A and B are shown apart, each in its own frame.
Chain A
């Protein structure tokens, strides 16, 4: 899996070119994540006819449409539920979910934990820009402390979710986190996530230049991207300090991996046993 792809990666083979330029704002991190995902798909040699992208609602959710695959843009918060049905019905498809921090952790939080628990072979990419981008920049379950959003006009006072810990706690077989700035590393992480049997959760530290960056005076996209890298995520994760040298940052890379029995395999195994006795 770590082998680099046979042929050179040509992103145009994986996108719906006629839809470009895409709708995202200048500098939006979601676009960088899109490239990493497609590069991973390429490196793994996944046939795009067998690739199903299921996304929710949000700027993150609209990323899927640009991928030249079987793409499903579902309802807000429910892509994992939809993907569960799709994967159960069609185990031959490679099902990848693209969701946002609001989509996945707020309205879709229940589906996330149960998808983790069930451990069906799906890969979930949560594009975390710590804001509700699509609706104009309201606070999300991952908005850092003190950040300004349109619904926290004097700064955010609510605590945040550590999505990776949540996913791990709920039983996901694979959990990882990476930032869009580290695109090759992000690609590699996504490759590992897809290749892993069972439910894989990847938190992509993305950024919203337009509504979040502006509101918080974080400079242009480049500066936001850098700010992210240098650990601006402050102490939002509270005591979840992972790295001694980046006391204000977050751990990236593969955070958890287990060989727990995959759901469809468990289902088949169980019913085969029951019917033979």
Chain B
């Protein structure tokens, strides 16, 4: 890939092979701060004398949809995008999005930094095309980490929340990222200070340190062994389980044509096909009321009813 770029750019091939850029891919869903991370990184590399290309897609940010950003820096960078299998570092602010982008990571040498937070985006579980061996959310965090040598899965949201700065989870990840790159710590902090609201500088610096410290003290074996499987689920749109909202699912059997869509798309795997080829809810407790099944049932056979427990008005 780099060679082709070289030819295109009419630059002697050799000079670039040695100076190939560093590729960092940042992914997540809308509202998490993907763009902030990539901007900090881009700005920092520029200040440190690199050529930088940063491009992003945040078309659906408002709707909780996927957001991703490519940052490439080095002595010379031509293409703004990172081809598949070429990312040196993949930073995922959301677990499923991280898994979805794994094919972009360099095999063997790529570094995977991921928040274990799972936000069920409206239409998450995307791109699980046939043959893809990583599905959401079947693979547990240890499963994935076992496959990727340089993987760092952390509960950034949990860390930030404990510090009382829940919104700075992305800065925690920046701290972790800083451990994977050779940039001076002070440079990181000064760039971060430029990008966050003045009142929050102090909190963000603390979050950065927490993420960095976590990475530096990271011990793979204990981490895997002690993994408790804590995940934060923020189902799309409707349900905020913290606010005491529960949901029930109604399937109109006479309308169901057994197309399988709801079953395959349910992120929680709580639906199944019965012997009559009709979808049934087999695991109501796991249902988060995310409504994916309702949205996608072509036969309008599923209705998710939500109730607020605390306030019935």
Contact = CB atoms under 8 A, between A and B. Distances in A.
Interface of A: 8, 10-12, 15, 20-22, 24-32, 34-36, 180-185, 188, 209, 219-223, 225-227, 229-230, 243-245, 252-253
Given A20-B255, A245-B57, A245-B81, 19 more contacts: A20-B299, A21-B256, A24-B298, A32-B297, A35-B300, A180-B296, A182-B60, A184-B123, A184-B237, A184-B295, A185-B63, A185-B65, A185-B122, A220-B260, A221-B259, A221-B298, A226-B126, A229-B123, A243-B57
Contact of B122 (A184, A220, A244): A184
Contacts of B85: none
B127 A229 contact: yes
A221 B260 contact: yes
B39 interface: no
A253 B123 contact: no
Contacts of B303: 10-12
A35 B68 contact: no
- Interface range, B side: 35 or more
10 contacts: A12-B303, A20-B300, A26-B259, A31-B299, A32-B295, A182-B65, A182-B122, A188-B63, A220-B259, A223-B130
B127 A183 contact: no
A121 B299 CA distance: 30
B158 to A, nearest CB: 28
A31 to B, nearest CB: 3
**Interchain residue pairs A-B with the least CB separation, the first 5:** A31-B298, A27-B259, A26-B259, A26-B257, A183-B295
Looking at A30, A34, A243, A245, the one whose CB has the most chain B CB atoms below 10 A away is A245
Contacts of B74: none
B194 to A, nearest CB: 27
Contacts of A252: 59
A244 B57 CA distance: 9
Contacts of B306: 8
Contacts of B63: 184-185, 188
Q: Is the interface of B mostly helix, strand, loop or mixed?
A: loop
B258 interface: yes
B11 interface: no
B236 interface: yes
B68 A225 contact: no
A221 B65 CA distance: 22
A252 B252 CA distance: 32
B187 interface: no
B295 to A, nearest CB: 4
B128 interface: yes
A244 B295 contact: no
Contacts of B70: 245
Contacts of B55: 244-245
A22 B122 contact: no
Interface in B259-304: 259-261, 264-265, 295-301, 303
Given A35-B295, A244-B80, A226 B129 contact: yes
Contacts of A184: 63, 122-123, 236-237, 295
Contacts of A180: 296
A108 B300 CA distance: 29
Interface in B213-265: 236-237, 252, 254-261, 264-265
Contacts of B127: 226, 229-230
B278 to A, nearest CB: 11
A50 to B, nearest CB: 23
Nearest to B56: A245
B81 A244 contact: yes
Nearest to B295: A183
Interface string B92-122: 0000000000000000000000000000001
A29 B298 CA distance: 6
B296 A183 contact: yes
Contacts of A209: 259
A28 B296 CA distance: 10
Contacts of A245: 55, 57, 68, 70, 81
A181 B298 contact: no
Contacts of A32: 295-298
B126 A230 contact: yes
Contacts of A227: 129
A26 B70 CA distance: 39
